[in-house]
């Protein structure tokens, strides 16, 4: 099977599983769209085992740093001025942390921050669900890539 067709079939099958888990089992509290963002980030980071390490640490750091930023905004009164200044500081930190090799994939850091904001930006247990959805999405990316690769291998000759 051609690699692109194999990957497309693999992703389609696993998307069905993801939708079932994230929507069909609401008790899991997985966030569907965040899983898809994380899945895409896995491939954008180059795929393979290296992409797990390249995408997850900065994404999770982005989520956690953004939660801390929103906590600081609240302590500063919650006004627009505090939000502007502290989110600007956050942006600086998200870029600067790329000086550490485990946090160097800046797009994942910003996507982590964006998914936290997009999930409501509350400083509560929802932070855990955002992070778990990230981990699951990157995991689904890895599994879909591996499954697609298996589909492209020719069947062993009978003999």
Residues 98-136: tens digit of each pLDDT: 999 999 999 999 999 999 999 999 999 999 999 999 999
The pTM (predicted TM-score) of the whole model is: 0.92
| Tens of pLDDT, residues 22-62 | 999 999 999 999 999 999 999 999 999 999 999 999 999 99
Query: Do 131 and 29 meet the contact criterion of CB atoms below 8 Å apart?
Result: no
| Tens of pLDDT, residues 2-21 | 999 999 999 999 999 999 99
Rg of the chain taking only CA atoms, in angstroms: 18
Confidence of residue 159 (pLDDT cuts 50, 70, 90): very low
Tokens of 152: 């492209």
């Amino acid at each position: 099977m051609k690699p692109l067709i194999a990957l497309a079939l693999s992703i389609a099958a696993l998307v069905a599983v993801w939708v079932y888990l994230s929507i069909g089992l609401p008790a899991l509290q997985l966030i569907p769209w965040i899983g898809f963002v994380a899945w895409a980030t896995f491939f954008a980071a180059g795929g393979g085992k290296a992409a797990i390490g390249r995408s997850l640490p900065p994404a999770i750091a982005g989520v956690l740093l953004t939660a801390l930023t929103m906590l600081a905004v609240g302590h500063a009164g919650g006004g627009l001025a505090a939000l502007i200044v502290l989110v600007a500081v956050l942006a600086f930190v998200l870029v600067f942390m790329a000086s550490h090799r485990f946090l160097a994939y800046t797009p994942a850091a910003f996507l982590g921050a964006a998914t936290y904001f997009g999930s409501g930006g509350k400083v509560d247990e929802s932070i855990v669900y955002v992070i778990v959805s990230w981990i699951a999405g990157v995991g689904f990316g890895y599994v879909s890539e591996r499954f697609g690769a298996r589909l492209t291998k020719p069947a062993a000759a009978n003999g």
